[in-house]
Chain A
Amino acid sequence: SAVISQKPSRDICQRGTSLTIQCQVDSQVTMMFWYRQQPGQSLTLIATANQGSEATYESGFVIDKFPISRPNLTFSTLTVSNMSPEDSSIYLCSVGGLPEYNEQFFGPGTRLTVL
């Protein structure tokens, strides 16, 4: 299985500011994903981070709000821009799927609170 770390593990931010979340994987992977988990809710896919190209965003998520970088096969960042209290969530990095894995694995998450 892949081992995934995220930084920061949690943060409290002021409205209008931005936060960049880092995701590091212990092996090279083709597919990296960013999810949001709002309090008490299930997981919603924000985007798929593709190495060497722009991220692919799901309906309801846009690049201006959630810019993503994927500079290599072991690292990605997600920025939450111009934050509002509605952005308070857990943000999860995930890797998996073919060609490296059948399964999909998750990092520990970044717990974000926006005041």
Chain B
Amino acid sequence: GESVGLHLPTLSVQEGDNSIINCAYSNSASDYFIWYKQESGKGPQFIIDIRSNMDKRQGQRVTVLLNKTVKHLSLQIAATQPGDSAVYFCAARAGDYKLSFGAGTTVTVRA
């Protein structure tokens, strides 16, 4: 089965700095990846996704990078704001419909 893990359980970042959250996956057949943001008391919120035929995708203030060679995924948040404080999850899917979730990284933004 798929194993998805985050490199760091917590990340503290100064407001205005860029944040980078890393994730590793085990299944080389994984072909679709999603990053979610979960604020306290809420369900996970879709941030951005990427397919395995791409290595980079950009959204509003966020960029996802995919390195299939080393099975590594990262989420970059530009100019981090207090509202970015949350738990971030990466998830991977290998052909079927099931998502496997990583453990989550708690991002705390310092004013």
Question: Which residues of A does B touch, CB under 8 Å?
Answer: 1, 4, 31, 41-45, 48, 92, 97-98, 102-109, 111
Interface size on B, residues (CB 8 A): 19
User: B98, A42: Cβ atoms under 8 Å?
Assistant: no
Instruction: Say yes or no: is B103 at the interface (Cβ < 8 Å to chain A).
Output: yes
Verify B97–A31 contact, CB threshold 8 A: yes
User: Does the CB pair A102–B42 fall under 8 Å?
Assistant: no
Is B21 engaged at the interface, CB distance under 8 Å to the other chain?
no
Closest B residue to A10 using CB positions = B41
Closest B residue to A45 by beta carbon equals B98
CB < 8 Å neighbour of B49 from A45, A103, A107, A109: A103
| Neighbouring A residues of B34 by C-beta, 8 Å | 103-104
**Contact call A108/B49, Cβ cutoff below 8 A:** no
Q: Determine the chain B residues whose CB is within 8 A of the CB of A43 once the complex forms.
A: 44, 89, 101
Of B32, B43, B103, which contacts A102 at CB under 8 A? B32
Cβ of A92 and Cβ of B32 under 8 Å apart?
no
CB pair B46 A1 closer than 8 Å: yes
What distance in Å separates the Cβ of B87 from its nearest Cβ neighbour in chain A? Answer: 9
Additional A-B contacts beyond A43-B101, A107-B43 (17; CB < 8 A): A4-B43, A31-B97, A41-B103, A42-B102, A43-B89, A45-B99, A48-B98, A92-B43, A92-B44, A98-B97, A102-B32, A103-B34, A103-B49, A104-B34, A104-B46, A106-B45, A108-B43
Interface residues of B in 52-111 (CB under 8 A from A): 89, 91, 97-99, 101-104
Q: Is the CB of B32 within 8 A of A109?
A: no
List B contacts of A31 (CB < 8 A). Answer: 97
* Measured CA separation A111–B102 after assembly (Å): 21
Shortest distance in angstroms between A108's beta carbon and chain B's nearest beta carbon?
5
Give every chain A residue within 8 A of B45 (Cβ-Cβ): 106
Chain B residue at smallest Cβ distance from A48: B97
CA distance A70 to B6 in the complex (A): 34
